[in-house]
Chain A
């Protein structure tokens, strides 16, 4: 296996933490605003003491979304490619969410829009009691400059 990943990244970066952050306490109105924007009708998301819809966790994805070894300009013209989320306990008002971001994978493929590099960050979120809120594998698609022929 090569020691070099796409974008010239060193394979030893896989598993490297690149961000750690802690949120302010979650406000009930933030949960209701999120649910309302989606048209959610479930009363547990909208009442005075709501629990958050499970996808609310994406709000706490950290302060950096990618490892500093990846040049910022590589993300220009890129897109969110998808997510895989394992959910733990729901988020409630007053919760403080701690997020740890790790570079999980980098791979290359070709598709309709040409040559693409996918960067996968794994976000692990816990609350103030140390309970798992979510583990999210977030895939971002970059369009590297075409290699010179």
Chain B
């Protein structure tokens, strides 16, 4: 569909994935996050965690990926997230969101979106994104 038809209330196509421990290890290395809680179950448990966890930054990046998948031509101007609970590898993650505002700009449109990452039926990360794109762009769905 065209982004000209995207209105307040539009649901962003969900990203439902399982992130493996290896992906977490590769992300932590690529993002220069040396914390052992991301790669070692034993270290994580010593810190009072149930096992390895995803870096908060990775949760944020997955929500960003959901936006890229939906609107590949959009530019993310702002991204704000709150990490409300731990996210673990090897369990299903559901990223979702909704358009909450639409503004016309000189050369296109600006969309404001709520972002939610859930695992085990609980909200683990919530946030907001502001996207900017040209008029008449198309979405992936």
Would A and B touch once assembled, by the CB under 8 A criterion? yes
Can you list 26 A-B contacts with CB-CB less than 8 angstroms, sorted by A residue number? Answer: A33-B29, A33-B30, A34-B31, A36-B26, A37-B27, A38-B58, A39-B17, A40-B65, A40-B68, A41-B69, A42-B68, A42-B72, A54-B76, A58-B31, A59-B30, A79-B56, A80-B56, A81-B56, A82-B83, A83-B80, A84-B78, A84-B81, A85-B78, A86-B78, A87-B75, A87-B77
How many chain A residues touch the partner (CB < 8 A)? 26
Q: Which residue of B lies closest to A56 (CB)?
A: B31
A53 and B79 CA atoms in complex are apart in Å by 12
- The smallest C-beta distance from B35 to any residue of chain A, in angstroms, reads 10
A37 contacts B23, C-beta separation under 8 Å: yes
Contact: B61 with A82, CB < 8 Å? Answer: no
**Which residues of chain A come closer than 8 Å to B69, judged between CB atoms?**
41
Interface string of A53-65 (1 = CB under 8 A from B): 1111011000000
Min CB distance A113 to B, Å, is: 10
